[in-house]
Structure 1
Amino acid sequence: MNRSLKIFVYPHRRNESFAHALLPVDFEPSGNYASEGYFFKTLVRSHFITDDPSEADFFFLPFSITALRNDPKRYVSEIRRRYPFWDSSGGADHFYVACHSTGRSAMSKTPEVTVNAIQVVCSASYFLPGYVAHKDVSMPQIWPRKGAPPEVRSTQRSKLAFFAGAMNSRVRQQLLVSWVNDSEIFVNRGRLPTPYSEALLSSKFCLHAKGFEVNTARIGDAVFYGCVPVVLADQYELPFSDILDWRRFAVVVATVDIPLLKEILHGISPEEYEALHGNLLKVRKHFQWHLPARDYDVFHMVMYELWRRRGAVSLPLPATAADA
């Protein structure tokens, strides 16, 4: 992949409203949707970029969600008018990246993008229309954190499980009702009075419960702090799930089984937990962004997902006079 994968980025002038995402900026991405910004910044610094579209495996659509949300069809129409590459594949070798759900919602108004192009998105849900498993790519939502991940042994983690966040979904409300007053599973409404990192570092398991979307930064937080993720989000395609075996470093629990959560977690033997925790530390490098990119980090995992999809869709060539 490192030697062969090539990406052509559609060029845009500074005064064009469609795509300013790749213009140079001095600040690093931050916040819940930093993964989108990190991808843009990392891609343009990478060796995967080519100026020759004839050698490109994929064509990147570097649009701005803010400018695009109200008129995505015009963006695609402009690309098709100015370049021949979309029509030559029907868009099957094109991709865009969006961590905010607005990106997916905007593109849902353009069926040819949703059906044909590869959508690299954080909000990867089987339940919502528009996401196509095995064609599209689930990218982790990562809250950027400075420095190396902390090393806290599993034996130093005194709490069984932890969650904190707004009660903005049925799943979180069910979690609160079931475990709000428990002495082993700590469920907190809203912000903590103490540092969030301390709760992550002192817990064996960290709960990921869907909010407005199936994705949150909590899985990335849990991985960074070495807390085994417990995923309570039905129909969520976990990031890189066709590459990583999540069963070896996380626990996936159906939301209907939230009342049985303590029984399920206590059913994991100490030896099984040590294996989960050890494997979690091994995969942490796949859930970190770096500028510039480092081997096996989030950026390279996304590139590998794309590389696996090259040539997956091939359209018949148009008939010529000689074929008649």
Structure 2
Amino acid sequence: MGDGRIPHSVGFERRRYLFCLFTVSVFVFVFSWFFFLQSAGSPHFIEHGFLPDKKLFSVVDNFKSTPRDLSKEHHESPPTIATIQDEVKEQPSACEPNKTTLKVFMYDLPSEFHFGLLGWKGTDSVWPDISNGVPDYPGGLNLQHSTEYWLTLDLLSSRFSNRRGPCNAVRVDNSSKADIIFVPFFSSLSYNRYSKVNPKEKVSLNRALQDKLVAYLRVQHEWKRSGGRDHVILAHHPNSMLDARMKLWPCMFILSDFGRYPPNVANIDKDIIAPYKHVIRNYDNDSSTFDSRPILLYFQGAIYRKDGGYIRQELYYILKDEKDVHFSFGSIRGGGINQATKGMHSSKFCLNIAGDTPSSNRLFDAIASHCVPVIISDEIELPYEDVLDYSEFCIFVRTSDALKEGFLIKLVRSITKEEWMKMWERLKEIEHHFEYQYPSQGDDAVQMIWKAVSRKVPSIRLKLNRSNRFRRSMVQMP
């Protein structure tokens, strides 16, 4: 030791210390550079995959901040990159009003036109504070025509600072900045619950509200400016707005079909067809197969109908004795919804036959059941058919062909297992387009309807611009 050399053990400890220091320094440098690039948001690095998506960091942060369930820690594996990426796919993006496709001005109609019909009693506000709870909509068959309720909720929530998920439509305060003017009248509910005349009244509440609505709209600046062409009115029940529809014909109606409208009042060029809200339960985790569904063809509902619905009774006599076919009368009473749910979930094909009007809720019950719809309704119009090819998951049969002895059953039996499975898979892919829910989710019924409305906006603008050609010269006329 007298020669001043460092013992071997001391040298080893120093080298190990320097190595550790170097490793830590490199790690800190790389980590700092990595987050610098992330915060800079370099398009080049992101585009070529050198950095993970920003959403991944938000999900990782969520894992850090969410309280852990200690009772499960020893039974569940820690989240992997794959599970985090799956979470990213499900994580709704924030609503960005400036990037929305549709700007909507909504009239502050008195609550008697909307949530007041649900029993909500406003105090100092026209609208309920839906951040603290949403007034319930009545169940049963009322729900199938509840489109107005879901769209209004979506607009009310569109400006929430903490809103997550899609917002194809956002509410604006300045009507001159809006693409459309939304009229929040729960007309289907008004018809369903208030169309009968009380003994002490001359007209029903439903009729009175329609009259008040027409009077209200005609004095509004927005209606006078456009003649109502950019106004959106919901009348999903075929009998809703029955007294006012002829007076409001320039507007855009959102309907279930055109069965009770003359073509000059409602037509596919200016109006929107919206889906019914299905009343049977969804078929979650559907792992059924062609062979595991024992019923070939299913129908349960009202058989004796008027107008175009006469075909139901004709088909009943043609099909009632066919093997593997269920064709019977049914209603929602006495457990009817549960019976229909079980029946549709057990069937390969479900009949959707015209009733009093061309459409019915049965089509959307079939979609929710992944039961391939067989549509027999020559005048039917379908929701968002300009972007959705129904022939990929539905069978269409002309009424004249369906009434031929043996035609329908032969057609259905000719469809192979492979063809059915392809349609069944497609039903599972598109069923979310027909789901009404709050909060709304990506491309569900609410968002699909807003997109359908937005596709009509250029046509509305064309009509308004053409009508303005001679406005100045008309003003100058003596």
CA spacing shift, 1:126–1:69, aligned 2, 3 Å: closer
CA spacing shift, 1:276–1:127, aligned 2, 3 Å: farther
Q: Give the gaps of 5 or more residues in structure 1.
A: none
Total equivalences in the alignment: 319
**What is the deviation of 1:39?**
2.7
- In terms of fraction of residues, the more helix-rich structure is 2
Three-state SS of the structure 2 residue aligned to 1:188 is strand
Q: What corresponds to 1:251 in structure 2?
A: 395
Three-state SS of the structure 1 residue aligned to 2:214 is helix
Whole-Å Cα distance in 1 between the matches of residues 283 and 408 of structure 2? Answer: 31
**What is the deviation of 1:72?**
3.8
Q: Is the 8 A contact 1:7 1:58 kept in 2?
A: yes
**What is the deviation of 1:272?**
2.0
Which range moved further: 161-170 or 127-136? 127-136
**What is the deviation of 1:64?**
4.2
Whole-Å Cα distance in 2 between the matches of residues 218 and 51 of structure 1? Answer: 39
Q: Does 1:85 align with 2:194?
A: no
Q: What corresponds to 1:175 in structure 2?
A: 315
Three-state SS of the structure 2 residue aligned to 1:208 is strand
Q: What corresponds to 1:121 in structure 2?
A: 255
| Letter aligned with residue 267 of structure 2 | V
Whole-Å Cα distance in 2 between the matches of residues 165 and 11 of structure 1? Answer: 40
Q: State TM-score, norm by structure 1.
A: 0.87
**What is the deviation of 1:238?**
1.2
Q: What corresponds to 2:427 in structure 1?
A: 280
CA spacing shift, 1:146–1:161, aligned 2, 3 Å: closer
Q: Is the 8 A contact 1:205 1:230 kept in 2?
A: yes
Q: What corresponds to 2:106 in structure 1?
A: 9
Which protein has the larger Cα radius of gyration, Structure 1 or Structure 2? 2
Equivalences for residues 130-279 of structure 1 within 5 A: 130-144=265-279, 149-155=284-290, 156-167=292-303, 168=305, 169-191=309-331, 195-259=339-403, 260-279=407-426
Whole-Å Cα distance in 1 between the matches of residues 428 and 113 of structure 2? Answer: 42
Out of 125, 129, 151, which is 1:39 matched to?
151
CA spacing shift, 1:190–1:74, aligned 2, 3 Å: same
CA spacing shift, 1:118–1:4, aligned 2, 3 Å: same
Q: What corresponds to 1:319 in structure 2?
A: 472
Whole-Å Cα distance in 1 between the matches of residues 455 and 374 of structure 2? Answer: 28
Q: 1:118-149, CA deviations, whole angstroms, 9 ceiling, x for partnerless residues? A: 11011334985533112111111113566773
CA spacing shift, 1:196–1:71, aligned 2, 3 Å: closer
Q: Does 1:94 align with 2:206?
A: no
Q: What corresponds to 2:174 in structure 1?
A: 52
**What is the deviation of 1:274?**
1.9
CA spacing shift, 1:281–1:321, aligned 2, 3 Å: closer
**What is the deviation of 1:154?**
3.0
Percent identity over the alignment is 25
| Letter aligned with residue 35 of structure 1 | T
Q: 1:89-112, CA deviations, whole angstroms, 9 ceiling, x for partnerless residues? A: 2211111112211225334331xx
Q: Which structure exhibits the higher relative contact order, with contacts defined as CA atoms closer than 8 Å and separated by 6 or more residues?
A: 1
**What is the deviation of 1:157?**
1.4
Whole-Å Cα distance in 2 between the matches of residues 250 and 17 of structure 1? Answer: 37
Which range moved further: 307-316 or 100-109? 100-109
Whole-Å Cα distance in 2 between the matches of residues 243 and 184 of structure 1? Answer: 34
Three-state SS of the structure 1 residue aligned to 2:216 is helix
Out of 441, 454, 472, which is 1:307 matched to?
454
CA spacing shift, 1:321–1:94, aligned 2, 3 Å: closer
Q: 1:134-188, CA deviations, whole angstroms, 9 ceiling, x for partnerless residues? A: 2111111113566773414232212211000012230211121111121132211
Whole-Å Cα distance in 2 between the matches of residues 225 and 205 of structure 1? Answer: 10
Whole-Å Cα distance in 1 between the matches of residues 454 and 395 of structure 2? Answer: 28
Whole-Å Cα distance in 2 between the matches of residues 37 and 19 of structure 1? Answer: 8
Q: Does 1:26 align with 2:135?
A: yes
Whole-Å Cα distance in 2 between the matches of residues 320 and 127 of structure 1? Answer: 36
Q: Give the gaps of 5 or more residues in structure 2.
A: 1-96, 118-125, 129-133, 160-169, 191-204
CA spacing shift, 1:20–1:312, aligned 2, 3 Å: farther
**What is the deviation of 1:276?**
1.3
